[in-house]
Amino acid sequence: EPAVLFVLGPSAVGKSFITETAASQLFGSYHNAVVVDGEVFRDQHRGWCEVVLHGMKKHVLHQDAWAVFKGVKVEDSKKSPTGGKVGVSITQALKTKILTGAVRDRQNIIVPSCANQLDRLEADMEMLIKAGY
């Protein structure tokens, strides 16, 4: 049976270290699970990387960059209660796609999270429980 590991805590508390250690114990290796981590998304997103690089070169902090990036919406296949399409952030759409694929393929899952959006975290947990995790 596949399993899921949620590692919750504030930014910079050491979730990555805890995740790798716990994953080795639970799954035999950190690499035996799908990791759903916003930090990985940011590190791989070309636009985000360019914003960070620009800030470092110019010695400025783009305080609003992450909020703007998260504010970009894509259409979700779900319908809103009013019957229209629902817009979700790019990062949330990617997270949903990765979770859905991991559940479909019955893979182990690791979800490090700051738990800033408790409703989304609870929805993910509920979905995974219903899927047999």
Distance separating alpha carbons of residues 48 and 104, to the nearest angstrom: 29
Token output for 6: 């949620």
What φ, ψ does residue 104 adopt, rounded to 5°? -60, -40
Distance separating alpha carbons of residues 83 and 4, to the nearest angstrom: 33
Q: What is the pLDDT of residue 56?
A: 72
pLDDT in tens, the chain (133 residues): 999 999 999 988 989 889 999 999 999 999 999 998 866 666 565 666 677 677 778 777 666 666 666 665 666 555 545 555 566 666 777 788 889 999 999 999 999 999 988 998 999 999 999 999 9
Q: Are 109 and 102 in contact (CB under 8 A)?
A: yes
Using only C-alpha atoms, what is the Rg of the chain? 16
> What are the beta bridge partners of residue 7?
112
Structure pTM? 0.69
Distance separating alpha carbons of residues 128 and 126, to the nearest angstrom: 5
Token output for 54: 């620009």
CB neighbours of residue 61 within 10 Å? 9
